[in-house]
Structure 1
């Protein structure tokens, strides 16, 4: 069991909590974990089998009663799970009853009256961590999986929970520890010439390790996209159909559409679930010079949204020739160094804009013809959105997307670069040993190795009670 001096989790008692979300549902679960889980459950369970004698991983039908009055509280199925083949590696009982709030609360009160303690937030997962069932990265993945709001967030969390990240980081940690040990041995026994480090070979190992840590940091470019979703900003001159396009993509009337230029005066947002992402679509005021003070504020906000965008949809009207406004806005978009797609709207009307001319607006950007009115071309536009974010090397292999992990890996990479530079210039080994120790500590902290109680408490306090 990992050393953890503080907190209720270190008591070794039996905890209980409702493990399913509050509200009405077909099934609700009260979970117990600890050395007295079976004995406590027997005090409230009335069935054919005493749970304390039941084999592991078996299901038993019966009723839950108030241990003080014998009042029947619910009709249930009870799962018996014996240590160590459980999530917490302790004896576990799961009482599966009806999912009503008052029913579950009554069952929980009965279990607490029988001797269990109400679990603290995240205490079940904390016990799994303390008993070595999960390392800290895997424990955090449990929370990331629960909070995942997109398919990609779910996939990354599940891979982290399965140990992909831990396995990769552990290999780096062990190599950093090996290099550190080699240097510290040399410092301790420097009077023996035969133990001298081969600086060329050592430097090569340092370089390889730093690059491998850098490979994990490729996830930094996608971490925010996975958590928050890409910000896609629609821009263009007034009345080219930006709001109509937003509504068409969202399949709902989110933005007001009128033939009057300047109708959109603020940023209108909507979310589109596509290809495992939660795209944040932002319809902005048409970019133009205006004397209207309210519209001017909208234009300023539109420019701010464009500067912060992950992708810009430059919308032009395909039923009319390009205007000087179109060209000026395109120049502004091109100056932002933000990926863009030129969207030629109103494809259902007689075309008056050549595709080649549209392609020249933002050189190198794809052009898609659509009709917000009929839906023509929306499939191609959605495919372009997908390709803009889920293709390329940034998504391959094991990636770090957790903010804490990324910060620690960045610090480890910087420390390794410092050690590498010291070794390259022939510095004394104590100037190599210190950054190597920092690198090893940061990599170990990702896994929960030698981390402080405050950090552990902070991480698990973010969990809900019952997990």
Structure 2
């Protein structure tokens, strides 16, 4: 069975999933979800009691909650590991990080009638959709800075904010709280999805050299022949702790041939969806009509003048506040990175600020804000904690 969110629903709620990435590692973690019905409560994990011999002599199903227990796992191939019952029906197994150990334990659990699934699928079975969403966001953060903010939300901050929305009876207070959350929507969505920055400019202004300099490695091919870059070349990095995808696009000019024109069309499409456009000029050459057309087409773009180490060939036509850099010599790159961050993240939420994390949450908040009556707003907001996947 496949749910609307794209994950396959297992046939049973009794599941086992590897939480840590595959491959070599010091420690791997497997989460076991019992998923028993009300009539079966009290019998959690009894089916796998024979698999674990605890050093403290207590059966696995009787181990105290939130306490680690050391012991040996398995029948013929004994594996030293620790277990922890993190709730009445959730168990974590921490074993050697090698694939063979993990696969052997999962095989034992499968024989004990637990269905082996991936961790995302296991999360979809949770009755706590908000916690599942927080965990999903955490798994996709790529920097310490974004992870810390996501952890704060997962630690109860976002739940408290959503509960306050649902319980608020004063319309003015409700609208104020809605507006505060919606204000941080774009920021929250980027915690797990990098900001996109696209470089554009006419051929040979140094886009490929600049993106390589910003990334710190050679991602784009540098060549002095116009039309070298025909596809969109991307590289991921982080500026001041914020994840960014930089895109190097085909040089834009009026007299491009057919194949080059296809690359230009791709560049234009990428520019339209970017969080920030950078128009790159070559300061060592006199301006052309292509330069002026790009400046006209992208008036909100960050304008950067490259090759500032060479003789200046622009006159009074040079735009105000242009950032002058030299991709070859590294001149002005720190200032450019700071300006990129200022444009992408003009403000950072103070500690303790609730931030929505995914499109479902944002869609519900926006629908509640546009609802005409208080009763309708509260009905929509109840989906924040109890479902509402139809809004994704």
Q: Distance in 1 between matches of 2:32 and 2:203?
A: 61
Aligned-residue offset at 1:159:
2.5
Alignment partner, residue 136 of structure 2:
143
Distance apart, 1:124 and its partner CA: 6.2
C-alpha separation in 1, matches of 2:139 and 2:50: 32
Paired residue for 1:63?
72
Report the more deviating stretch, 251-260 or 115-124.
115-124
- Could you tell me how far 1:231 is from its partner in structure 2? 2.2
Of residues 404, 412, 421 in structure 1, which corresponds to 2:368?
A: 412
After superposition, what is the alpha-carbon deviation per residue over 1:416-465, rounded to whole angstroms, capped at 9, x for unaligned? Answer: xx22xxxxxxxxxxxxxxxx3321121111011xx48xx59x99xxxxxx
Aligned residue for 1:359, secondary structure, equals: coil
**Contact 1:413–1:439 (CA under 8 A) maintained in structure 2:** yes
Deviation by residue 1:70-104 (Cα, 9 ceiling, x = unmatched): x1332x132343xxxx2xx3165544322222322
- Pairing 1:318–2:322 present: no
Q: What is the TM-score with the length of structure 2 in the denominator?
A: 0.82
Contact 1:40 1:111 in 2 (8 A): no
In structure 1, distance between residues paired with 2:287 and 2:32: 68
Matched, 1:294 2:294: no
Out of 113, 117, 136, the position equivalent to 2:114 is 117
| Larger relative helix fraction | 1
* Inter-partner Cα distance in structure 1 for 2:11 and 2:377: 29
Instruction: Give secondary structure in 2 for the equivalent of 1:280.
Output: strand
Corresponding residue for residue 188 of structure 1:
none
Partner residue in 2 for 1:45: 52
Q: Which residue of 2 aligns with 1:25?
A: 25
Partner of 1:207: 172
**Structure 1 match to 2:37:** none
Which of 330, 338, 341 matches 1:375? 330
From 79, 83, 86, the equivalent of 1:79 is: 83
SS at match of 1:212: helix
Q: Distance in 1 between matches of 2:92 and 2:129?
A: 25
Aligned partners of 2:138 and 2:192 also within 8 Å = no
Could you tell me how far 1:240 is from its partner in structure 2? 1.4
CA distance, structure 2, for counterparts of residue 98 and residue 171 of structure 1: 43
User: Does 1:250 find its partner at 2:210?
Assistant: no
Q: Which moved more, 1:208-217 or 1:238-247?
A: 208-217
Structure 1 unpaired stretches of 5+: 1-5, 179-204, 361-365, 420-435, 460-467
Structure 2: give runs of 5+ residues left out of the alignment.
Answer: 1-9, 35-41
Q: CA separation of 1:16/1:156 partners in 2, compared to 1, >3 Å: closer, same or farther?
A: same
- Measured after TM superposition, the shift of residue 386 of structure 1 is 0.9
Count of residue pairs brought into register by the alignment: 372
Instruction: Say what the alpha-carbon RMSD is for the aligned residues.
Output: 3.2
**Residues 266/143 of structure 1: CA separation in 2 closer, same or farther (3 Å cut):** closer
Shift of residue 174, structure 1, vs aligned partner: 0.8
